[in-house]
Chain A
Amino acid sequence: MRRLSRTLGAMLLALGLVGLSGERVAAQCWQCLEGWPGYEDCSHMPDGYVNCNDDQYGTWCDTSPYDPCGTVMLDVLPDGTVVVDAQGAESGLPAAPSIDAEGRLGACGLITKHNLSVVASRALRERTSLIDL
């Protein structure tokens, strides 16, 4: 069931990126996605970008501000969501997220959604009602 959900999610994402190509979108995928060539070798560079050490797409990966999805990172929202210019879809590059059980993107991915339970949301409210800095 989870595998089916992932597949469906990946298809929807790819369709979404194609449809929004060239526009500002909140990224559902960024860097080192499962199934991407060179995925096993991906590494985060000190500047925050990703090097996939991939012969085929290496030039995409190691030149900031491009990422392996071929997207251009435009902005980061206050909640940590990356805003991209979805140029990768124009190049026909796949964009397939892997989402773990906690709703987080795969090994090198980003947290883009917080689908917290009612209990977890309540706990977060309690933890952040008083903050000493």
Chain B
Amino acid sequence: MVGRAGAARVVDRYCVLSLASILACSTLEPPSLTLREIGSHPLAPDARIAGATSSVPSTFLAWELEAARLYLVTASTMTAIDAGLPAPLAAMLEPGAERILVIGGDLQFERTDRNGRRLAQGRLGLGPEPMLLALQADRLLAVADDAEGSGTSPQSWIVRLDELPDARLIEADLTLPPGRRYRAAWLGEEPVLGTLFPPLELFFPGWGDGRDERITPLPTIEADGTERSWAILSLVPLTTCDRRMLVTVGDLRSDRRILIQTDSEGNVARSTILDAPLTPLAAETHSRLLLALRATSPPELVIYELEYTVTPCRSPR
């Protein structure tokens, strides 16, 4: 199944012990998801990719941590775009693929064309400066920072971005535990948040048809008891109609990753250890492509073709 030279070295499969119960063990199961590389693009040696999204077929948008630099990525091309806003917190290629929306610190936003030419700029008026942002199509999730560990639940906002800068509030204040830091993504109309640091959990607020509110603990205890510093490195939705996604948990002291697949309900379905510095960033389900960051020297953005054993649902909301 796995080729000799071109295959990933999945060192071993992974059994998870939590509260003395085996939650998941994928040793004998066939792969449900295969990533096959179809293209890669080298970055500058000091590039620090902070995130990526995909909102149009076959195209991804990635952005750097500090530099005001975006990358439009396809399997065969990568175009660097210098945006006006430094340190983007979120960015998105808008539907139609002609415009890019970038949101930076202090909730400033900038809308440009694909060449980086500014079309509009302004500031969203949501209140305190949020640290966490997740963009999807016409909506934005923002969660206020809790850097000081205040003990109060972090404020959050979900707004529609129809007429910037007039963002229309859809929902405020998700029920989130205090004193935690989160990573976020959108599963169709439902946001998902994952705690950055242990205990690692996914929070689903229960929006969308037939979806329940759910908290899913993620496996981080290895069978041999090895002590590690785990963190959620990425949340990559695999569909827009349920909770199937690929969660990357990384050990901050090694190259070890646990790639966790959730099922349609948001439960852990499979987990696989990968001893390689590779992190999936975003998936584009119409074209069945996935963008990942590979820590070669220099680092690379890699495009994979997604091969599902189980066909994902095809009814985008």
Contact = CB atoms under 8 A, between A and B. Distances in A.
Interface of A: 24, 26, 30, 44, 46-49, 63-65, 72-83, 85, 104, 108-111, 114-118, 120-121, 124-133
Given A48-B197, A48-B230, A124-B277, A130 B34 contact: yes
A47 B220 CA distance: 11
A49 B229 CA distance: 8
B23 to A, nearest CB: 17
Nearest to A76: B231
A78 B8 contact: no
A118 B258 CA distance: 26
Contacts, number: 165
Contact of B261 (A104, A116, A125, A133): A133
A61 to B, nearest CB: 15
Contact of B34 (A79, A104, A125, A131): A131
B40 interface: yes
B184 to A, nearest CB: 12
Interface string B76-119: 00000000000100000000000000000000000000000000
A29 B197 CA distance: 17
11 contacts: A47-B199, A75-B131, A76-B232, A77-B50, A78-B234, A80-B231, A110-B253, A121-B297, A124-B296, A132-B8, A133-B270
A128 B208 CA distance: 35
Given A65-B197, A131-B34, A74 B131 contact: yes
Contact of A80 (B233, B259, B304): B233
A85 B131 CA distance: 12
Contacts of B218: none
A109 B253 contact: yes
Given A128-B302, A129-B37, A24 B87 contact: yes
Contacts of B293: 78-79
A129 B6 contact: yes
Interface string B151-168: 000000000000000000
B295 A114 contact: yes
B276 A127 contact: yes
What is the predominant secondary structure among interface residues of chain A facing chain B?
loop
Contacts of B145: 74
Interface size class of B (residues with CB under 8 A): 35 or more
Nearest to B52: A78
A130 B8 contact: yes
A13 to B, nearest CB: 15
B10 A75 contact: no
A121 B253 CA distance: 19
Q: Which interface residue of B32, B253, B281 has the most chain A CB atoms within 10 A?
A: B253
* 6 A-B pairs closest in CB distance: A132-B31, A131-B8, A121-B296, A131-B35, A114-B295, A78-B279
B252 A126 contact: no
A3 B40 CA distance: 37
A115 B277 contact: no
Q: Which interface residue of B66, B230, B297 has the most chain A CB atoms within 10 A?
A: B297
A110 B253 CA distance: 5
Given A130-B3, A133-B246, 9 more contacts: A74-B145, A116-B295, A116-B296, A124-B294, A127-B276, A128-B276, A129-B6, A130-B7, A131-B304
Nearest to B198: A48
Nearest to B147: A72
B5 interface: yes
Contacts of B230: 48
B297 A133 contact: no
A114 B48 CA distance: 12
Contacts of B209: none
B299 A79 contact: yes
A85 B149 CA distance: 14
Contact of A78 (B147, B276, B281): B281
Given A132-B1, A133-B246, A116 B231 contact: no
A8 to B, nearest CB: 18
A23 to B, nearest CB: 9
